[in-house]
Amino acid sequence: MAGKALIIVDVQPTFCEGGELGVDGGNAVAERIAAYVTAHRGEYAVIATTQDWHIEPGAHWSEHPDYVDTWPVHGKAGTPNAELHPAIRALDVAHHFKKGQYSAAYSGFEGIEDNTDRIQSREEVTAAQSAGRTLANALKTAGVTQVDVVGIAESHCVKETALDARKLGYSVTVFEDLTVPVSEELGVAARKDMAAAGITLRHS
């Protein structure tokens, strides 16, 4: 359906059980998202994935993380755990946005479109952003007006991606059964923030 996009946020082994920042329920969410896309892909003008693809993200990585602003090494570019989850990779969607190469980057709107697994220089990333290889540009080009957001983790990158979509003027829905927070407490806080911004929260 023209005018509608699905953004699959950071469904990577690094954020699933056994990963460096594994979230309980991550693998199950990946499988549910894959089933949803298989059943509904014809409804979307754009389906895009985002990935943490950290090369040198500065203080975002820490040997002594506080789990608020600093984190253990995760989503390291070029490693198996930074790849898309196998269930998502098998969907063969067209648009892939990698973020956080040289910064923290919680929102998918901070990424660049990159369908390769190359380790890019800071200059290459900046050039790609300047050239408009961004999620915002992909949605605009496709005439998108509505955005559905799913993925990991609801309390962090899903929330920030959804909030940025709202700031850009899109009608935004987060499917609560296709995402999972780091903790229930942080999930409650994230849902309050998203609802206050006018984001619709419902099951798929």
Indicate which residue of 52, 99, 114, 159 is catalytic: 99
Coil, strand, or helix at residue 65? Answer: coil
User: Residue 135: is its pLDDT beyond 70?
Assistant: yes
pLDDT digits (tens, 9 = 90+) for 23-37: 999 999 999 999 999
Going by DSSP bridges, is the β-strand pair 171-180/112-113 parallel, antiparallel, or unpaired?
Answer: unpaired
Quick one: residue 73, left, alpha or beta (phi over 0 = left, psi -120 to 50 = alpha)? beta
Tokens of 56: 């040198």
Sheet-wide strand order for 171-180:
112-113, 95-99, 46-52, 4-9, 146-152, 171-180, 200-202
Amino acid at 2: A
**CA–CA separation, 147 vs 193, rounded Å?**
17
- Please answer whether residues 36 and 91 qualify as being in contact, where contact means their C-beta atoms are separated by less than 8 angstroms: no
Tokens of 181: 């927070």
Q: Which residues pair with 96 in a beta bridge?
A: 49
User: Residue 52: is its pLDDT beyond 60?
Assistant: yes
Domain ranges within the chain, ordered by starting residue = 3-202
193 is catalytic: no
**Residue 178, Cβ density class (10 Å: 0-12 exposed, 13-18 middle, ≥19 buried):** buried
**pTM of the predicted protein model:** 0.97
- Please answer whether residues 153 and 15 qualify as being in contact, where contact means their C-beta atoms are separated by less than 8 angstroms: yes
Indicate which residue of 4, 10, 16, 114 is catalytic: 10
Indicate which residue of 4, 16, 52, 157 is catalytic: 157
| Beta-carbon contacts of residue 64 (< 8 Å; ≥ 6 apart) | 70
pLDDT digits (tens, 9 = 90+) for 81-103: 999 999 999 999 999 999 999 99
167 is catalytic: no
157 is catalytic: yes
The residue-averaged pLDDT of 129-144 equals 96
Residue 198's nearest CA partner among 147, 163, 168 is 163
